[in-house]
Amino acid sequence: MTEDSGRHGRGRPNEGPKAAARNRAALVAAAREVFAERGLEVPLSAIAKRAGVGQAVLYRHFSDRTAAVAAVLEENVRQIEQAAEDERATFAGMLGVLTWHLTDSAAFIGLLHAERAGSRSGIRSQTLGLSERVERALRQHLPPEHRLSAGDDLTLAIAMVSAAVTSPTREERELRALAAWRLLDVEVGPVRAFDG
Amino acid sequence: MTEDSGRHGRGRPNEGPKAAARNRAALVAAAREVFAERGLEVPLSAIAKRAGVGQAVLYRHFSDRTAAVAAVLEENVRQIEQAAEDERATFAGMLGVLTWHLTDSAAFIGLLHAERAGSRSGIRSQTLGLSERVERALRQHLPPEHRLSAGDDLTLAIAMVSAAVTSPTREERELRALAAWRLLDVEVGPVRAFDG
Amino acid sequence: MTEDSGRHGRGRPNEGPKAAARNRAALVAAAREVFAERGLEVPLSAIAKRAGVGQAVLYRHFSDRTAAVAAVLEENVRQIEQAAEDERATFAGMLGVLTWHLTDSAAFIGLLHAERAGSRSGIRSQTLGLSERVERALRQHLPPEHRLSAGDDLTLAIAMVSAAVTSPTREERELRALAAWRLLDVEVGPVRAFDG
Amino acid sequence: MTEDSGRHGRGRPNEGPKAAARNRAALVAAAREVFAERGLEVPLSAIAKRAGVGQAVLYRHFSDRTAAVAAVLEENVRQIEQAAEDERATFAGMLGVLTWHLTDSAAFIGLLHAERAGSRSGIRSQTLGLSERVERALRQHLPPEHRLSAGDDLTLAIAMVSAAVTSPTREERELRALAAWRLLDVEVGPVRAFDG
DNA sequence: AATGAATGAGGATTCATTCAT
DNA sequence: GATGAATGAATCCTCATTCAT
């Protein structure tokens, strides 16, 4: 790779591995936007186009649609896990962070719905691990006497609230999410991204 | 059509107009099954095949996918409305009937979710009338002092519960629905179809 | 798209972008032939097949049937315009070139017919610009005292002659075109493609 | 057919053979309108619907599209033949009648175009007889010294004029037809239907 | 490592034609 | 004789995926 670095047709010169990381970031960002705007079934080419890369680059990074969805969600999940690591975290605070992500990402909402029979089964089964991580993070701060501490109540409550969060505008989504938690008689901390 | 005249016409003999009603029923039943098994985006041809009719028959009865979905839901909605007409109906009883339909029909569940951003929006907008009819039927029996009587709480609660009902088996779905109502601290009557 | 991922991808190896230009040319040539042989309403797939490419390639190059027709005609029109640029061009000479194209391309004939009520109107309206360019090129060399110089007479005459040019063999078409011009008492130069 | 005359599903009672003639007339009229409005490629069902009959009735009367087109044209052709029978008929007068039919019927225009390679070949070949009858009728009154009396000039001239007649409005069509005859330096009598 | 053209199967839709009633 | 529903092939168009450059 010393003299042949000009072998790419034309277009931007080979920028080496650094471009790979940049492309991946661009793709994830593009996927997040496009999934939010047009649903989880957009043509994959739309993601590549938005990211400004060729389609094959998308395939290099994500072997299929599922992987792209998972990559988008991974970021949300990781933030929630980080929030859980914070020693000062409370359950209500965790719910605030969770709610923030629910209002932020349409794909994330879908993640927290339980598996729907037959629908897009691929995506769900491969992202199940992610939703378990979310739940584990929340349980770290769930007081034993909390009204959601029994059995699957937490799982259920999250699914129920995420169902409520369906609105075109962000503000509306937040209002609905908070209303849903209130209906469940669950206290929620401030709705915010975790910033450390 | 270019120069080919006489395309076909063999196969199962034409059974005449009498088949029309039978076909429509078969199509609705097939649609209900197929939508439940494979989601609302199955190829329409799958419905026709399951019903044992040609594709054009499907188009004769349902001009588009939306119409097919609506036809499936119409039956559920009508039953709920009929239940509401019963003088002895109670709100808890209505919720039981609603819950029965939720556990019965995957498509019906989707109906009661609020519009999901970007998702095949056509279907929702054209079936909105149906979900309003469901809610109206329930409100007829909603006592003023009920905990869901304020604002959009009923709407929200229904959306939340329907989100909980996602399981491959019917029993599981019923359990989850009841758990969801319990979390909402709402009393529900026996889960059953309305039979007059 | 429901759950089927991984549709295909074998067959003749991808020849890369270099094929793009070659394919476009092949498509235009195929379209010219196929339109001539089977009319403007052939299945688009016939064009793709004749060109030896997949259907999507056709769609990449021509967004719809109109665009394919226009691409075929564009070449004819351009030649006529080039002929008009020649300083030594005469009106009779231009008519010869026009006549050559009439005898060469069935689609070109259709172009110069006025819009037929109800017929696949899309094609005509989007190719109207092309026929105007032909006429403009001819008018550049139309002497003021020519018998076709008044009003729409040129337009009419062209439409009339193109109507005469309907024969399966090329020789026959040329004969008929010349007979038509003679009936109109209009002198025509040698029937030939413009070669600069 | 005495006691069983009620055996048709329901709908209008069996009106016997008289209905057949009435239906045929309705079909021809409907076909004329529909062909004029939507071109020769309309779905045949549109003709049946416009005529107010079932589709099978159309098939009883016309075995295929060609037969329907021919039936429409037959009326025009017959009128021209009748005009030719009139002893007082002149060639110019015949052209006037011909022109009237050209402006009246889009399908008739097509009839008089020479065969276009490959396009709708079925229709043309089966209606060729009709155009020959038109020409024969005209030739009965063609003076030997007329400028169209040589060879195929009459055929050609008719094709050329019919090509000129392409306009959405009737008035416009008549103007264009007359302009075309003028360009051909041929005298035309009053444009009118032959009424005996 | 990136590009973007090509593949070709699959879903949607239309319509000529038949046939039970 | 008439009705009009059903058939199912054929066309259009879209996209996931590969691969020469």
Task: Please say if the pLDDT value at position D32 is more than 70.
Answer: yes
Distance B21 CA to E17 C1' (A): 22
Q: Does A65 touch chain C (CB under 8 A)?
A: yes
With respect to residue B38, please indicate whether it lies within any of the assigned structural domains.
yes
Q: How many domains does chain A have?
A: 2
Kindly state the average pLDDT of the residues A101-125.
66
Task: Please say if the pLDDT value at position C124 is more than 70.
Answer: no
Indicate whether B45 and B73 sit together in one domain.
no
pLDDT of residue A50: 95
Instruction: State which nucleotides on strand E lie below 7 Å from a protein beta carbon.
Output: 1-21
pLDDT of residue C78: 93
With respect to residue C3, please indicate whether it lies within any of the assigned structural domains.
no
Query: Please, what is the average pLDDT of chain D?
Result: 85
pLDDT of residue A124: 64
Q: Categorize the per-residue pLDDT at C41 as very low, low, confident or very high, splitting at 50, 70 and 90.
A: confident
- Closest residue, CA to C1' of E20: B16
Q: What are the Cα distances from residue A8, in Å, to A1, A15, C1, C18, C178?
A: 12, 11, 33, 14, 56
3-state secondary structure labels for all residues of B33-93 = HHHHHHCCCCCHHHHHHHHCCCHHHHHHHCCCHHHHHHHHHHHHHHHHHHHHHCCCCCHHH
Indicate whether C59 and C133 sit together in one domain.
no
For C160, the domain range is 65-196
Indicate whether B124 and B54 sit together in one domain.
no
With respect to residue D9, please indicate whether it lies within any of the assigned structural domains.
no
Indicate whether A28 and A53 sit together in one domain.
yes
Q: Who among residues 19-78 of B has its Cβ near strand F, under 7 Å?
A: 19-20, 22-23, 52-57, 60-61
Q: Does A115 touch chain C (CB under 8 A)?
A: no
Q: Categorize the per-residue pLDDT at C58 as very low, low, confident or very high, splitting at 50, 70 and 90.
A: very high
Closest CA in chain A for residue B119: A39
* Rounded CA separation C183/D34 (Å): 35
- Closest residue, CA to C1' of F5: B17
Kindly state the average pLDDT of the residues A151-163.
93
Task: Please say if the pLDDT value at position A154 is more than 50.
Answer: yes
Indicate whether C80 and C38 sit together in one domain.
no
Kindly state the average pLDDT of the residues D125-138.
85
* Rounded CA separation B95/B182 (Å): 12
**Token pair belonging to D186:** 């041929």
Could you give the percent of chain A with pLDDT greater than 70?
A: 83
Indicate whether A117 and A41 sit together in one domain.
no
Residue C115 CB partners (closer than 8 Å, separation 6+): C121, C124, C125, C128, D166, D168
Distance D26 CA to F6 C1' (A): 26
The residue ranking higher by pLDDT, A120 or B44, is B44
Give chain B positions within 8 Å (CB) of D41. Answer: 1
Indicate whether A45 and A57 sit together in one domain.
yes
Indicate whether C84 and C131 sit together in one domain.
yes
Indicate whether A70 and A141 sit together in one domain.
yes
Q: Categorize the per-residue pLDDT at A117 as very low, low, confident or very high, splitting at 50, 70 and 90.
A: very low
Indicate whether B46 and B71 sit together in one domain.
no
The residue ranking higher by pLDDT, B131 or D118, is B131
User: H-type helices in C39-64, by residue range?
Assistant: 44-51, 55-61
* Rounded CA separation A143/C24 (Å): 68
Q: Categorize the per-residue pLDDT at A169 as very low, low, confident or very high, splitting at 50, 70 and 90.
A: confident
Indicate whether B98 and B158 sit together in one domain.
yes
With respect to residue B3, please indicate whether it lies within any of the assigned structural domains.
no
With respect to residue A24, please indicate whether it lies within any of the assigned structural domains.
yes
How far is CA A166 from its chain centroid? 15
Query: C56: domain CATH number?
Result: 1.10.10
User: CB–CB of B77/B49 below 8 Å?
Assistant: no
With respect to residue D137, please indicate whether it lies within any of the assigned structural domains.
yes
**Token pair belonging to D165:** 């007649």
With respect to residue A9, please indicate whether it lies within any of the assigned structural domains.
no
Of all nucleotides in the shown strands, which has a C1' nearest the CA of A21?
E1
Instruction: State which nucleotides on strand F lie below 7 Å from a protein beta carbon.
Output: 1-21
**Within chain A, how many helices (H) and strands (E) appear?**
9, 0
With respect to residue C9, please indicate whether it lies within any of the assigned structural domains.
no
pLDDT of residue B196: 67
Which range has the worst mean pLDDT, A82-86, B188-192, C28-32, D129-133?
D129-133
Contact B163 A166 (CB under 8 A): no
Indicate whether B52 and B137 sit together in one domain.
no
Query: Which pTM does this prediction carry?
Result: 0.82
